[in-house]
Amino acid sequence: MRDDYAKNRRVAEAFYEHTRQAVTESGLPVLEVTDAQQRGSTFGARLANAVADAFAAGYDRVIAVGNDCPTLHEVDWTAITERLDDGRPVLGPTSGHAGTYLIGLSRDQFEHEAFAALPWQAPALFSALHRHLADASGAAPVRLAVRDDVNAPAELHALVRRGRSGGLAARLRRVLGHTHHTSDSSSRRTTRPVLERRSRAPPYSSVPGR
């Protein structure tokens, strides 16, 4: 069990470092919000507080991303900031359009209590968030390309096999060793604590706009 926990932690660290590299290369200021720094009794409250803290720090636009999108390094950050400068919120839908890997919004489009109350852990999140930001901005949010996120062992092993992740797959192979060739039951034991779905929205990093 101790070895499994250590491996789970290394998987999580590989995703986190991949995300950190992607947002650092954006050239934008970066605020990292880890589990230990989050405040609130629900996911919605924690995310709303993180976004509010970025605005309180003096930023006028915030791009929130999570650490479970393996192709985040392919995002066009310049195009996103241009849309935010135009007053348009931005959403990056995940496969199936149930959740989002990226949320971009301006200070005047953020209402703390309404944002926190959205159905963050439900399949209706993307449509509810889209309506919320459209109402707040007076314009439909810009939709980015659909991207996969990783929330289950099968998705993790598919990512390792495909290798389309800017170096993340190679890191995961080193962490997992031969576990991605094992049976499904073994894979679940070694990966589920890290990859169990907590939300359908970005949980960790905030990338403030200019």
pLDDT in tens, 81-124: 999 999 999 999 988 778 899 999 999 999 999 999 999 988 89
| First-to-last C-alpha distance (Å) of the chain | 45
What does the angle CA 32 – CA 175 – CA 147 come to, to the nearest 5 degrees?
55
To the nearest whole number, what is the mean pLDDT of the chain?
80
Which domains, from first to last, does the chain contain?
28-149+198-208 (3.90.550.10)
pLDDT score at 171: 77
Contact indicator for 30, 24 with CB cutoff of 8 Å: yes
The yes-or-no verdict on residue 210 having pLDDT over 60 is: no
